[in-house]
Amino acid sequence: MKSRFSGNTLNSLLSQKNSREVIFLKLFSVIVLIISFILLLPNSLFHNPAVGLDPSWKIALNLAVKNGFRFGKDFIFTYGPLGFLATRSPLVLGKTSLLFLDVTILSAIIFILSYAFKNLKSYASICGLFLIVLILSFAPIYSINLDSILFLIFLFMLFYYIRHGSIITLVLASIISIITFYLKINTGFLMFFIMFIIFIYIYIYPNRYTKKFFLGYFFIYLVLLCLFSFGLNTDLISYIKTSIHIANAYNDAMFIKIGADPDVGVEHLQMALTIIFLYSLIIIIDFKSFINNKEFLVGYILTGISIFSLFKIGFVRADGHIYSFFVFIPSVLGLLYLFTPSTHRGYLTKVILVALIFSFSTIGGRLYNLERITNKLVNFQTYINTASNSNPRSFNPAQLQESLLPEDFLQVIGDQTVDVIPWEVSYVYANDLNYSPRPVIQSYSAYNGSLDFRNYNKYVSDSAPQFILFSVNDIDGRHPFFTESRTKLAILTRYKIVDKFNNLLLLQKRKVPVHFSVEVQGKDTAELGEFIYLDNSDELQYMTIGIKYSLLGTIVRALFQPPQLNVTLQFDNGEEQTYRAIKTIVNGGVLVNKFVDTLDSAEGFFNSGGVLGRRVKKIKFDTPDRWGFQKSYTYQIELIKVNHRRFQIP
């Protein structure tokens, strides 16, 4: 008996089944693509100024652009002249500029998502991409994480060039790297380093173009990088030098140990290291492919550099910063997956799966909420309404209420120039003051002696501000008066207190500076944990120290965090207090024999020419991480002899 179905009929049914599966897969892809796009829409057009440490540097950054400060010389910070793009502040940006920025980013996101969905051929891979997008949507990618989303776009463009040889994507990557260089310098340095690797690669293995073409292209790239500095009011040499100081000393000054923040534990470090370890194993497992496939090798090198950079950014300051690692690590690995040949995706898929599990467990319930999509649509509707408003810049005075100054303060200041110490620049904006800051705009960011001296030189120059709003504060349990020690000497001898309000002193520039002399004493040697006795004298004693890391400490600092340094002060009554000491700051020179930790003690210190202030009898530097430092160090004391006749000493 003949079969009811011929071979052709069976093939036809199979073909219809396959066609239906392809249609369903495409339909599923389109639905997920739309949802992914919604998740990556911007939330707000503008961010209003507010009170606090982070809001204050955002205000300062915008005022620097508005007032025409020269970056690298007049203004030194982690963010550059395009940093205002990441603040979304109404101080500088108009809605047209922001809309152009957002449309550009959204266009890049659409291009990347379209390419991804086009090249993913299974429900599992599409679901994986959606999870990556869901995690990425947790970050404010249009504002404070703008440099990170630009980096992801940059990385995609380079991968696209390596795979497809498209010169357009290489040009786009080059433009993004130049923009980011003037947006946030540490990410800009990273992009420049990666571009350098790419140029070496394409010079050795030119694709469609000659080596001479790429030499010319690299030269044009460098010229454009330099030319941007003129249009962006940047002293390029100084911008690079000071940025290197900031980026290098940030490690020492801003690290937070694992466990210091109750929300960040050793398990987060273990998860990050597990991802890095599993990624590293790919090289061992697929070693032959790396040897035989140069594109494969370059892609994994770039991804490895990116992963290490994310780790450093996230775990040097092990508080909320760790979320940046877990938010962006799946995206970086996902980009590599897109451009990895299907025959080599097996193990990488497992690494991405582990990264997704760890990212979801770290970010937690913030993502397990179906209302995120609804909220995104509501926020975007608000965004559209704000953008269509003829005057979309909103301002809520209540946000700056606590920064409003009393009328007598404002009458004294008038329209004369003002700076703020240590960081609350919101006073300037809330009271419409004439801002003339020291170059390193917030005290905690003067991470080493070189940066402190730049601030000191500002205060002893003709361009020094006429007034200073001064308070006593520091971060992370630091010694409250070590930061900007040289700058405080300039304040002591060139300013006088004219008023006081709550937690603020108002200091005014003297018409004639107070004379002082410096007597440098000989060098001496001490060991960590050993007290150094200080002279019982009214003269100020500035100590320059030569504490050094051990070889192991240097390696650990480079790969993770530096070992911690502490300082212990003993007073005349035998009482001791211990604070965190920043190696780069104490090595640059700090005031050691007078202790100021309150506004009242600061008032006494400045009014008396440094005579008043709690006397420190002896001082020692020590560490809980003895393995990280050389046992002994040198130190030198400078006696600062101030003309006390110009002061009122009780």
H-only helix segments in 261-321 = 266-285, 287-292, 294-315
CATH number assigned to the domain comprising residue 617: 2.60.120
For residue 12, tell me if it sits in a domain.
no
- pLDDT, tens only, 57-97: 999 999 999 999 999 999 999 999 999 999 988 887 778 88
Q: Give the mean pLDDT of the chain.
A: 90
CA 648, distance to chain mean position in Å, is 44
pLDDT digits (tens, 9 = 90+) for 143-185: 999 999 999 999 999 999 999 888 999 999 999 999 999 999 9
- Of 465, 493, 509, which one is at a domain's C-terminal end? 509
How would residue 368 be classed by pLDDT, with cut points 50, 70 and 90?
low
* Res 213: pLDDT: 84
Quick one: 350 and 404 in the same domain?
A: no
**Which of 604-607's residues contact partners 24+ apart within 8 Å by CB, and which partners?**
605/492, 606/491, 606/492, 606/495, 606/496, 606/497, 606/505, 606/507, 607/497, 607/647, 607/648
Q: Which of 23-27, 400-404, 572-576 has the highest mean pLDDT?
A: 572-576
Q: How far apart are CA 602 and CA 500, in angstroms?
A: 11
Q: Which of 45-54, 263-272, 284-293, 368-377 has the lowest mean pLDDT?
A: 368-377
For residue 567, list its beta bridge partners. 579, 621
* Res 370: pLDDT: 60
Tell whether the model's pLDDT for residue 345 goes beyond 90. no
For the cut 90, the answer to whether the pLDDT of residue 108 exceeds it is yes
Decide: 447 and 246 in contact? Cβ < 8 Å. yes
d(CA 217, CA 195): 12
Same domain? 533 vs 632: yes
**Residue 160, Cβ density class (10 Å: 0-12 exposed, 13-18 middle, ≥19 buried):** buried
- Tell me: do 444 and 524 sit in the same domain: no
CB 485 within 8 A of CB 506: no
DSSP state of 501: E
334 and 291 part of one domain: yes
User: What is the C-alpha to C-alpha distance for residues 271 and 191, in angstroms, rounded to an integer?
Assistant: 26
| Residue from 245, 24, 45 nearest 123 by CA | 24
pLDDT at 374 exceeding the cut of 70: yes
Q: What is the pLDDT of residue 290?
A: 77
- Residue 309: give the domain boundaries: 256-366
What's the domain count of the chain?
A: 3
Same domain, 585 and 619: yes
Q: How far apart are CA 431 and CA 521, in angstroms?
A: 46
d(CA 72, CA 95): 28
Could you tell me if residue 326 is inside a domain?
yes
Q: Are residues 321 and 429 in the same domain?
A: no
Residues 533 and 462 in one domain: no
Position 14 scores a pLDDT of: 47
Q: Which two tokens stand for residue 260?
A: 């210091």
* Average pLDDT value for residue range 605-621: 92
In a domain, 34, yes or no: no
* 328 is a domain residue: yes
What the block records as the tokens of 276 is: 């890095």
Residue 273 included in any domain: yes
Q: Are residues 480 and 422 both part of a single domain?
A: yes
What span, in angstroms and rounded, lies between the C-alpha atoms of 398 and 628?
47
**Are 635 and 557 in a shared domain?**
yes
Cβ neighbours of residue 505 under 8 Å, at least 6 residues apart? 468, 469, 470, 471, 497, 499, 599, 602, 603, 606
Whether 322 and 421 map to the same domain: the answer is no
Torsion of CA 324, 477, 59, 236, to 10 degrees: -70
Answer whether residue 632 shows pLDDT above 90: yes
Name the pLDDT band for 260 (thresholds 50, 70, 90): confident
- What CA–CA distance (Å, rounded) separates 431 from 405? 7
Give burial (CB, 10 Å; 0-12/13-18/19+) of 456: buried
Residue 565 lies in a domain: yes
Span 407-433, pLDDT tens digits: 989 999 999 999 999 999 999 999 999
Q: What is the mean pLDDT of residues 41-62?
A: 91
Q: Is the pLDDT of residue 136 over 70?
A: yes
Q: Which whole-number Å values give the CA distances from 407 to 61, 190, 469, 507, in the listed order?
A: 26, 48, 14, 16
Residue 81 lies in a domain: no
Q: What local confidence, expressed as pLDDT, does residue 8 receive?
A: 63
Query: What is the percent of the chain where pLDDT is above 70?
Result: 94
The domain boundary, picked from 366, 388, 414, lies at 366
Q: How confident is the model at residue 13 (pLDDT cuts 50, 70, 90)?
A: very low
Summarised one tens digit per residue, pLDDT across range 475-521 is 999 999 999 999 999 999 999 999 998 889 999 999 999 999 999 98
Query: Over 90: is that where the pLDDT of 209 sits?
Result: no
Burial of 156 (0-12, 13-18, 19+ CB in 10 A): buried
Pick from 344, 332, 351: nearest CA to 155: 332
- Clarify whether residues 522 and 475 are in a common domain: no
Cross-strand bridge partners of residue 317: 256
In a domain, 247, yes or no: no
C-alpha span between 157 and 135 (Å, rounded)? 21
Residue 70 in tokens: 């020269």
Indicate whether 456 and 571 sit together in one domain.
no
